[in-house]
């Protein structure tokens, strides 16, 4: 899978902000990464974004929290990321979640409720001001 195989969209008009990632390849390839021997749920995945040094979209990465293995990377416009983070951060502290919807292309989406989204700058440093980090989480 390549980043070019994915399309991303942010919808801040949902009851909760939603980040949708659509896979344009063979659905089973992506589905196996989530439904393998030990199916992944929201607590098993980490979501991060890193800026790029060009005008190209940044990179959204979804990884397996236990193994650190990349599940996939997808392009995401910086403005869309900003909208998602700002909308979630403006909500009450106990409601700062967002939905991560992953559409493998077979009509059976994965939907994860997430509260953390780490944003890294071009140099790989965590940008706490642009990240979603729940209160009480120590990094």
Domain count, the chain: 1
Q: What is the pLDDT of residues 74-113, one digit of tens each?
A: 999 999 999 999 999 998 888 889 999 999 999 999 999 9
DSSP states along 50-81: E--SSSS-EEEEEEETTT--EEEEEEE-HHHH
Q: Is residue 59 part of a domain?
A: yes
- pLDDT for 93 equals 80
Given the DSSP bridges, would you call strands 70-76 and 98-103 parallel, antiparallel or unpaired?
Answer: unpaired
Q: Is residue 131 part of a domain?
A: no
Question: Is pLDDT above 60 for 139?
Answer: no
> Containing domain of residue 68, as a range?
3-126
Q: Is residue 135 part of a domain?
A: no
CB 134 within 8 A of CB 96: yes
Question: Is pLDDT above 80 for 136?
Answer: no
CB 25 within 8 A of CB 18: no
Q: What is the pLDDT of residues 28-49, one digit of tens each?
A: 999 999 987 788 999 999 999 9
CB 84 within 8 A of CB 12: yes
Q: Is residue 8 part of a domain?
A: yes
Q: Is residue 29 part of a domain?
A: yes
């Amino acid at each position: 899978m390549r980043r070019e195989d994915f399309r991303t969209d942010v919808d801040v008009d949902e009851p909760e902000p939603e980040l949708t990632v659509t896979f344009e390849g063979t659905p089973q390839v992506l589905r196996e990464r989530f439904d393998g021997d030990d199916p992944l749920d929201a607590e098993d995945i980490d979501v991060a974004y890193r800026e790029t040094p060009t005008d190209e979209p940044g990179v959204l990465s979804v990884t397996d929290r236990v193994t650190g293995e990349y599940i996939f990377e997808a392009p995401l416009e910086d403005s869309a990321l900003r909208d998602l983070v700002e909308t979630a951060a403006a909500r009450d502290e106990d409601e700062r979640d967002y939905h991560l919807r992953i559409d493998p292309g077979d009509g059976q989406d994965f939907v994860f409720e997430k509260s953390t989204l780490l944003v890294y700058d071009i140099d790989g440093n965590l940008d706490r001001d642009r990240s979603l980090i729940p209160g009480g989480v120590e990094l």
